[in-house]
Amino acid sequence: MRWITLDDFIDISSKVAQRGGDFFLSKFTLDKKSRTKSAFDDTFIQSSNWWIIPKVRKRWNTLITGDPDINYKQHFIANYCQERSDLRLLSLGAGTCSHELELARYPQFAEIVCVDLAENRLAQAKEIAEAQQLSNIHFVASDLNTYPFAEEYFDIVLFNASLHHFEQVEKLLTSQVNKTLKPNGYVVINEYVGPDRLQYPKYQIKAINNALKSIDPEYRKRFKTRFPKNRYYGSGVWRMIMADPSECVDSAAILPALHAHFITCEEKGYGGNILMSVLKDISHHFVTPTLEQEAMLQRLFDLEDTYLTSHDSDFVFGVYQKK
């Protein structure tokens, strides 16, 4: 376990440049919930992470659905909900609710409930829903300790990049989630399921650094800074807890808990073991890539594909049915 690394100091400096001094000062509180909320307090957070790259998202689609133009939600609707109606979906840790707003446009859903700590992000999502005249989606600002889980009420519980933020994952799935799902209901995840607190093994860090070297130096300048990204040292636990106490707090328990207590209907890994860390803070260079940059991205994709032949994926889409 790495308690502090050089990347921690680089990340702090980068975050101040990217999000301002107030964001940095918001971390100096003993209230864990406040530190978690501050990590997501800006509805329109500007970032340079791997998910902003269209070619990366198309790669995810290909690995999950087999088609670069079909995302996991479209895939789920086509394969699990096509002949159904009056479905109720609960999304825990919904954030800006972009995925839920997309699902609300499908006629199969009678009700979608989005739950999140960040009131401002839910308020923005509510404005979008009203503008699009989506009356089947609702927004609840709450944490799990106060949210009233109705018994056998929902057909689907969705975790989109949120389950890895919850403590005691197995308890959550076997108590609240299992309780609120109807018989034969589904848990759907699109999640990071790798090591807790991003404590990657040494061989993974070595693979990340080998991949980073394949990017030309001019495209390694960090977002909104003058700092070059020449090496990846890994995340320190202390800085992760200070920045967001919920980040990857029990992520390694996600798949074992789902496999033990639910029926696995489908599970697709889509990598991230190398790409997420390599592209963090430099993804903005590849949003509209030149042919040269496309070639660099393809080299990264090939390196990750080779890595995945002998290692489990850090990111997974999965569908699991209540026993």
Whether the CB-CB separation of 63 and 105 falls below 8 Å is answered with no
Q: Is the per-residue pLDDT at 309 higher than 70?
A: yes
* pTM score above 0.75: yes
Strand stretches in 117-177, DSSP E: 137-141, 154-160
Confidence at residue 20, expressed as pLDDT on a 0 to 100 scale? 59
Residue 89: Cβ-neighbour burial (10 angstroms; 0-12, 13-18, 19+): buried
**What DSSP assignment string belongs to 65-87?**
HS-TT--HHHHHIIIIITT--SE
Q: Is the per-residue pLDDT at 38 higher than 60?
A: no
* 176-197 pLDDT per residue, tens: 999 999 999 999 999 999 999 9
Decide which of 241 and 215 is more confident: 215
The structure tokens listed for 190 are 């699109």
For the chain, percent of residues with pLDDT exceeding 70: 90
Confidence at residue 39, expressed as pLDDT on a 0 to 100 scale? 45
Radius of gyration of the chain (CA): 20
Q: What is the dihedral of CA 279, 282, 285, 288, to 10 degrees?
A: 50
Residue 107: Cβ-neighbour burial (10 angstroms; 0-12, 13-18, 19+): exposed
Helix, coil or strand: residue 264: strand
Q: Is the per-residue pLDDT at 269 higher than 50?
A: yes
Decide which of 18 and 201 is more confident: 201
Give the distance from CA 295 to its chain's centroid: 26
Please tell me the distance from the alpha carbon of residue 317 to that of residue 57, in angstroms, as a whole number: 13
Where exactly are the structural domains of the chain?
Answer: 6-322
Confidence at residue 191, expressed as pLDDT on a 0 to 100 scale? 98
Q: How confident is the model at residue 17 (pLDDT cuts 50, 70, 90)?
A: low
**What is the helix (H) or strand (E) element at residue 208, kind and residue range?**
helix 202-212
Expressed in angstroms, the distance from the first to the final Cα of the chain is: 36
Q: What is the mean pLDDT of residues 264-270?
A: 98
**What is the helix (H) or strand (E) element at residue 116, kind and residue range?**
strand 109-116
Round the average pLDDT of the chain to a whole number and report it: 92
Instruction: Please report, as a single letter, which amino acid is at residue 242.
Output: M
Q: What CATH architecture is 6-322?
A: 3-Layer(aba) Sandwich (3.40)
Whether the CB-CB separation of 317 and 268 falls below 8 Å is answered with yes
Whether the CB-CB separation of 274 and 299 falls below 8 Å is answered with no
Q: How confident is the model at residue 257 (pLDDT cuts 50, 70, 90)?
A: very high
Q: How confident is the model at residue 11 (pLDDT cuts 50, 70, 90)?
A: confident
